[in-house]
Every structure is written in structure tokens, then in C-alpha cells.
Amino acid sequence: MQLISKSTVALARRLIFLGIALIVFTAQQGNASAHDGGDREWSVQVELVNSGDINLDPAFRVAIYENLLSELEKTNKFQNIYRSGDRLATTTPDMLILKINVRKFDAGSETKRAVTTVAGATKLKVQCQLETRDGRVVSDNLVEASVRFFGSNMRVTHNLAHNIAGTIKKSTLPEPTHVSQDGQTPDELSRAQVEANR
């Protein structure tokens, strides 16, 4: 039977203590971030990327969308982030809808970038709007991204999503009015319920 050395036991105790301290610290940080500022009360539903008349490959639209969901999650700006068509979003109060409309796309060339480093940039420019359910625009920005040097053309989708999330994170959102899906505030709902009960 092999005995465990005192140094091994001491190390195990330190690791357990550090693990517990880390858990407590993480829980406190989570509580603090959930209560800092009014923006965190909003949830957001991200609509599919609309390229309109711009000739943008569907793979780019999907990549922008998926990268944007990931980047928005990192901002900690919203209570919940929903995909377009998510049924849970219809019952969530204080919902903002994020619409992305492509305004300009230059495909660029990976080969030209690799050879010259001054030509062949891939560029994307979009309009991103945050709206309330009743269509009131609370944020409207033009956001750009590019890949100028080495890298895949698809890298522009990550850069764009990162820039959109950064723009939204910096924006100041109005206080939620707690509007229901049918556009009524709590006071209007309670008045309507009183009227219905008469």
C-alpha cells in the first residue's frame, strides 16, 4: 500500500480551494453583469441577412448570420439572442429585432492580395437596424468590413459580424417599455383586461 506524500495532499487542498474560489468569483461576476445597466433587459431576434439587389453568394449571407450570432453573444448586451423564426421570441417581452441589409459588396481576389498586398480587397458594407416590435427604429448604423491582406474572402464575414456587434455594444438603447407581442404596454393590457371583465 502506497502512502500519499504530504506535499501531494497540500497541493490537492490548494487546488480544491482555488476551484471553489473560482466558482464563487464566476458566480459573483455573473450576478453583477446581469444587473449592470438597462440594456441587459432587452432581448434581440436576429433576422436573416437581406442582400436585396446586391449579388452576394448565399454562403456569405449564412456566414455573416452565424458569425453575428456568435459575436452578439460575446457582447453580453442582451438578455437573450434568438434566431429568425424562433417561436420563443414571440412570447419574450422587450424584444428588439436586428435587421441587416447589404448595401455594397466587392468580391476582391485572394490571389491578388497574396501577390500584391495592395489590390484585391474584399469589402462589405451593411446597414444594421435595431427595431422594436412595433417598428420603431432605436439604432441605425452603416457598418463596413474588409480583408485587405492575406486571408480568405470569407474572413470578411467574421470581420463584419465583429464590427456590427461592436457598434451595437457601444450604442445606448432606450429603456424597455415592456411591450407585449401585440404592441400593448402593461397599463394598456390591464385596462383592456378590466374592460373585458365588465
**For 15-60, how does the pLDDT look when each residue is reduced to its tens digit (9 = 90+)?**
787 678 678 667 666 544 444 444 568 999 999 999 999 999 899 8
Q: Which domains does the chain have, with CATH numbers?
A: 40-172 (3.40.50.10610)
pLDDT reported for residue 3: 65
The pLDDT score that the predictor gives to residue 100 is 97
Question: For residues 91 and 81, what is the distance between their CA atoms, to the nearest angstrom?
Answer: 13
pLDDT at position 2, please?
57
Give me the percent of the chain exceeding a pLDDT of 90: 45
Task: Give the whole-angstrom CA distance, residue 138 versus residue 140.
Answer: 7
Percentage of the residues of the chain whose pLDDT score is greater than 70: 71
135: left (phi over 0), alpha (psi -120 to 50) or beta: left
Band of residue 181 on the pLDDT scale cut at 50, 70, 90: low
